[in-house]
Amino acid sequence: MSTKKGPILEHTNGLSLEEVNGTIKVPKGKSFWRTLLAYSGPGALVAVGYMDPGNWSTSITGGQNFQYLLMSVILLSSLVAMLLQYMAAKLGIVTQMDLAQAIRARTSKALGIVLWILTELAIMATDIAEVIGAAIALYLLFNIPLVIAVFITVLDVFLLLLLTKIGFRKIEAIVVCLIFVILFVFIYQVALSNPNWSEVIKGFVPTSETFANSPAIGGQTPLTGALGIIGATVMPHNLYLHSAVSQTREVDHSDEEDVANAVRFTTWDSNIQLSLAFLVNALLLIMGVAVFKTGTVKDPSFFGLYEALSNPATMSNGILMNVAKTGALSTLFAVALLASGQNSTITGTLTGQVIMEGFIHMRMPIWLRRLVTRLISVVPVLICVLLTRGSTVIEEHEALNNLMNNSQVFLAFALPFSMLPLLMMTNSKVEMGERFRNNRIVQLLGWISVIGLTYLNLIGLPSQIEGFFGDHPTALEINTADTIAYILIVAVLALLAWTIMDLYRGNKRVALETKKLDEDLSE
């Protein structure tokens, strides 16, 4: 449990999200649907991360440039996400530790601090996308100047304070409602576009062209488009979050069947909610193909998409043209953007609390945690806005869009350090027991997913670093970017090796301790 160290910071080494851990009762012996309803909620908190503002431009631009070719990438990313989130939830329920606590318990203090800093940077990078998305939504909906809109995003700390007073179950319900707002907006817009559904279905089958290095359209190839979608879809903080919020349901850990039941229904909840996230991302790509005329979206930023949705000339058919004239399409888009940003605010703060408590055993009030991370995230956005105030409108939009895209580079660093420990621990009999360890099929799919995603993230790093030099880097800048990227790749691989060795030693130590305890009990 926790011991007080001061009025703001506390030392803690207790349950994950202790205030809500095991507080939500679930019915026993009831129907499948009633039980599923009681377990529904954590999956929605996780699904938010798979449809946040960072996903939008990658999916729409992919549709504009390559039609339905990248639909298969969205499908594969979603299936991998379901697999990883299943393992994260199972880890939390079975071991009663979240992923941060489990890693820290099996690794050295020094490595724990390094991984904490890395994960904090990834959360802040995600927060930058949320700040940009929310500020632009406020600007588009209410014509609030961007500088003021950026400061207004800080005030969502008061929204978070209010939510902490109403109970965790109601927070889950609010998140689900916001997800359906986003879903409704894109279903409505795609329904009006009347897409070619046979081509959509064909797009779900991957081909050699899906990951090809040519053709290059608008500076993007199918490979870079696929990497962008994958990078925006699978995010490290979701694994930490799910391993924590899966423990909010009351489970009798002395009853193996009750634990198995919790794993089963939590998996159902996760897969249903992630299916909704998949649908949103698929609709975004379909928007890029069917809502807009091919090649008409020159500016893939939120500003450009808003303007394109209010311009009848960019619409693909007469019905969309008439609706676009009313401003309904662009307004709904901005509303969905605002809803997405607020959803991510809730989940991002919870994740920050989980990793801080898990890795360094420190806790601060949730409102202060939100205020600190949001103020840090606001700084680069404000600098970007202020530096481009004298530039053209298009240059301002491009600068914000580039900042959002460049901030995602930290996700490429952090993802392997959440996926690999998760897989190793859920594969382990020592950690999970014989019944709950991953079976051979899950282990095989897990290794393919982890190695594949790590490889794709690392090979995409040079182009991501080049993005820091603008849209038209010189040969010297490209060489510099590639050198930095290769140094970072070596650093990531070295840190991964350290993590694997620490986890292996930690697992051996726990196995020996467990064996000794069993021998003492038998005597």
Examine the pLDDT at 64 and tell me if it is beyond 60: yes
Give the C-alpha separation, 184 to 353, whole Å. Answer: 31
Give the C-alpha separation, 131 to 152, whole Å. Answer: 10
Condensed to tens digits (0 to 9), the pLDDT of residues 132-158 reads 888 889 999 999 988 888 888 877 766
How many other C-beta atoms are found inside a 10 Å radius of the C-beta of residue 276? 19
**Which residue from 501, 441, 510 is spatially nearest to 83, judged by alpha carbons?**
441
pLDDT band at 276 (very low <50, low <70, confident <90, very high): very high
Return the bridge partners of 362, or none.
11
Examine the pLDDT at 10 and tell me if it is beyond 60: no
pTM: 0.88
Say what the pLDDT of residue 6 is: 46
| Cα angle, residue 44 at apex, residues 354 and 102 outer, rounded to 5° | 30
State mean pLDDT over 92-114: 92
Q: Where along the chain do its domains lie?
A: 10-513
Both tokens of 132, joined, read 């940009």
Condensed to tens digits (0 to 9), the pLDDT of residues 431-449 reads 898 899 999 999 999 999 9
Condensed to tens digits (0 to 9), the pLDDT of residues 355-397 reads 888 888 877 777 777 778 778 888 888 888 888 777 777 777 7
Q: Which residue has the higher pLDDT, 476 or 297?
A: 476
Is the domain defined by 10-513 classed in CATH 3.40.50.300? no
State mean pLDDT over 321-338: 89
Examine the pLDDT at 479 and tell me if it is beyond 50: yes
Say what the pLDDT of residue 13 is: 64
CA distances from 3 to 7, 10, 164 (A): 12, 7, 22
pLDDT band at 262 (very low <50, low <70, confident <90, very high): very high
